[in-house]
């Protein structure tokens, strides 16, 4: 059985646990292989290279973009990466070799970035294309670092591991992402070789341009499809659970066990990704199952995501959501009976590249829930000048999801539980598919609502 397995940044930073819990656990020389691992950069490294994903704190890329001292920032980054290397000395990393590798890769990056600045200064090219290329180069450094280290550690533990460097740092081949992946795995005997691949893949279309920070899961997905894997496994620092254990407590958070790709899409829509939606689609179409496992509970089977799973018993599987959204309502007395009124609303949103999570309408109002960010407010400013009345409100959205919830009672239980805890439903959404009940509530009641719905719909059933 051939598996392709993905290890996230938090787990990679605790590689000793990965080594014992994932790679070597219950393995002998006979069943050590037939596994390809795709690794993310160590925790926070991509934030340092680009910008912090959540706070926006500038990284090396931001400094390059602003014509600041990016070389100094790269030197500081290099020292941080050398410190990370030191932390793996005890589990078998050859420090002198590892330090030499990452120092050389960073020096190469400096040369590339310096050349880019000269091209930008010439004024003959579109700056945005150069900036995109710089972002690609910087992003690749993190995965190259973690993948090289992992191979070195495994070899020092007597495991025949090879470094599959998909970063394309030293070649000028004009390959798409798919072509580079296909070429990299040709001729490898997986039964005797443990492959560690970079989560970043260089391609003519630009993996960062196409997928931004979800690129490592896209690489993982494309590899699994290319090698015709029997299963794709994602190792995280937590289970895919009925609710976030950080919010509801570990004793109130139940591993899901089984679900399907439709539910994975619902999670992705509210930013709680079991897997990046663009990474999930190739696996879904190829019929490859995904298994989500907890790195720190290695004997737990985890959760299987498949095409055709439907719970044999009606039940809510997951309660999740976000408090980083806003609701806006367009009201117009003349809307009633007018065909296509919402078209102009959607055209403004399309212009600003804004999509909605929830849409609810009545005779003369349209309410949508969107992500709370600068782009949203820029879009709403324009919309305010074009519609009769616009109301904007910071809110949270909490969703109750399941593969088999098209039965009487679930909506009643959820609404009653919120009522019993004095949480008002500001807006509600559910499609005919009936896999996701979406409750819009006041933002300050978000954690209370997650706990309430998890207890009423998941724990008590």
CB atoms inside a 10 Å sphere around CB 10: 15
Picking from 31, 7, 1, 2, the residue whose alpha carbon sits closest to that of residue 227 is 2
Of the chain, the percentage scoring pLDDT greater than 70 comes to 100
Q: Rounded mean pLDDT of the chain? A: 93
For 323-362, the pLDDT digits (tens) are 999 999 999 999 998 888 899 899 999 999 999 999 999 9
For 297-331, the pLDDT digits (tens) are 999 999 999 999 999 999 999 999 999 999 999 99
Per DSSP, which regions of 200-340 are E strands? 231-236, 258-260, 289-294, 303-306, 318-331
Sign of CA dihedral 80, 84, 87, 93: negative
CB atoms inside a 10 Å sphere around CB 229: 25
Picking from 263, 287, 289, the residue whose alpha carbon sits closest to that of residue 277 is 263
Cα 91 versus chain centre, distance: 29
**Tokens standing for residue 280:** 């999930």
Bigger pLDDT: 296 vs 103: 103
316-330 burial: b if 16+ Cβ within 10 Å, else e: bbbbbbbbbbbbbbb
Measured between alpha carbons, how far is 424 from 441 in angstroms, rounded to an integer? 6
Angle 145-147-153 from CA coordinates, rounded to 5°: 100
Query: Is residue 283 within 8 Å of 229, Cβ to Cβ?
Result: no
Residue 326: C-alpha distances to residues 265, 319, 414 (Å) = 21, 19, 22
Q: Would you kindly state where each structural domain of the chain is located, as residue ranges?
A: 3-237, 318-459
**Burial tier of 206 (Cβ tally within 10 Å: 0-12, 13-18, 19+):** middle
Measured between alpha carbons, how far is 160 from 207 in angstroms, rounded to an integer? 29
3-state secondary structure of 31: coil
Picking from 40, 49, 45, 44, the residue whose alpha carbon sits closest to that of residue 18 is 40
Measured between alpha carbons, how far is 386 from 147 in angstroms, rounded to an integer? 52
Class of domain 3-237: alpha beta
- Beginning with the edge strand found earlier in the chain, give each strand of the sheet holding 427-429 in spatial order: 358-361, 365-371, 318-331, 389-401, 436-442, 427-429
Residue 455, pLDDT above cutoff 70: yes
Q: What are phi and psi of 338, to 5 degrees?
A: -85, 120
Predicted confidence band of residue 124 (pLDDT cuts 50, 70, 90)? confident
CB atoms inside a 10 Å sphere around CB 189: 9
Measured between alpha carbons, how far is 402 from 284 in angstroms, rounded to an integer? 18
Cα 264 versus chain centre, distance: 12
What is the predicted pLDDT for the residue at 54? 77
C-alpha torsion angle, residues 170, 175, 177, 182 (rounded to 10): -90
For 217-237, the pLDDT digits (tens) are 999 999 999 999 999 999 988
Say which CATH architecture domain 318-459 belongs to: 2-Layer Sandwich (3.30)
pTM of the entire structure? 0.88
Q: What is the DSSP string of 343-387?
A: HHHHHHHHHTT---SEEEE-SSEEEEEEE-SHHHHHHHHHHHTTS
Predicted confidence band of residue 460 (pLDDT cuts 50, 70, 90)? low
Bigger pLDDT: 339 vs 84: 84
For 159-200, the pLDDT digits (tens) are 999 999 999 988 888 999 999 999 999 999 999 999 999 999
Measured between alpha carbons, how far is 169 from 202 in angstroms, rounded to an integer? 8
Residue 206, pLDDT above cutoff 70: yes
Strands 427-429 and 436-442: antiparallel
What is the predicted pLDDT for the residue at 61? 94
What is the predicted pLDDT for the residue at 461? 60
3-state secondary structure of 236: strand
């Amino acid at each position: 059985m051939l598996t392709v397995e993905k290890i996230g940044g938090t787990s990679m930073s605790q590689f000793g646990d990965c080594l014992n819990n994932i790679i070597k656990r219950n393995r002998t020389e006979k069943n050590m292989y037939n596994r390809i691992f795709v690794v993310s950069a160590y925790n926070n490294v991509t934030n340092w290279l680009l910008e912090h994903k959540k706070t926006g704190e500038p990284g090396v890329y931001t400094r390059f973009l602003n014509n600041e001292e990016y070389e100094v920032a790269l030197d500081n980054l290099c020292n941080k990466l050398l410190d990370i290397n030191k932390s793996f000395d005890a589990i078998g990393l050859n420090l002198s070799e590892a330090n030499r590798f990452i120092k050389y890769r960073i020096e190469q990056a400096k040369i590339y970035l310096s050349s880019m600045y000269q091209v930008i200064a010439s004024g003959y090219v579109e700056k945005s294309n150069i900036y995109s290329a710089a972002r690609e180069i910087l992003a690749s450094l993190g995965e190259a670092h973690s993948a090289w280290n992992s191979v070195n550690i495994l070899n020092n533990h007597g495991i025949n591991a090879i470094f599959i460097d998909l970063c394309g740092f030293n070649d000028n081949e004009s390959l798409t992402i798919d072509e580079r992946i296909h070429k990299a795995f040709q001729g490898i005997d997986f039964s005797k070789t443990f492959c560690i691949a970079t989560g970043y893949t260089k391609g003519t279309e630009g993996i960062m341009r196409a997928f931004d920070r979800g690129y490592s899961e896209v690489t993982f997905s494309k590899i699994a499809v290319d090698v015709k894997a029997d299963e794709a496994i994602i190792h995280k620092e937590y289970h895919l659970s009925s609710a976030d254990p950080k919010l509801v407590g570990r004793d109130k958070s139940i591993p899901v066990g089984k679900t399907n790709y439709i539910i994975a899409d619902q999670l992705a829509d509210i930013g709680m990704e079991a897997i990046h939606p663009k990474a999930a689609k190739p696996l879904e179409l190829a019929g490859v199952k995904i298994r989500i496992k907890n790195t720190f509970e290695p004997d737990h089977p985890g959760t299987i995501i498949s095409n055709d799973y439907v719970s044999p018993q009606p039940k809510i599987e997951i309660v999740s959501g976000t408090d980083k959204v806003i609701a806006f309502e367009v009201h117009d007395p003349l809307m009633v009976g007018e065909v296509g009124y919402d078209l102009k609303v959607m055209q403004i949103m399309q212009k600003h590249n804004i999509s909605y999570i929830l849409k609810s309408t009545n005779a003369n109002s349209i309410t949508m829930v969107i992500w709370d960010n600068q782009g949203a407010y820029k879009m709403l400013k324009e919309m305010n000048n074009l519609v009769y009345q616009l109301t904007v409100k910071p809110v949270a959205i909490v969703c109750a999801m399941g593969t088999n919830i098209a039965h009487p009672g679930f909506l009643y239980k959820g609404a009653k539980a919120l009522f019993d805890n004095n949480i008002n439903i500001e807006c509600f959404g559910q499609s005919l598919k009936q896999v996701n009940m979406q409750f819009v509530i006041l933002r300050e009641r978000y954690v209370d609502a997650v706990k309430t719905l998890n207890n009423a719909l998941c724990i008590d059933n």
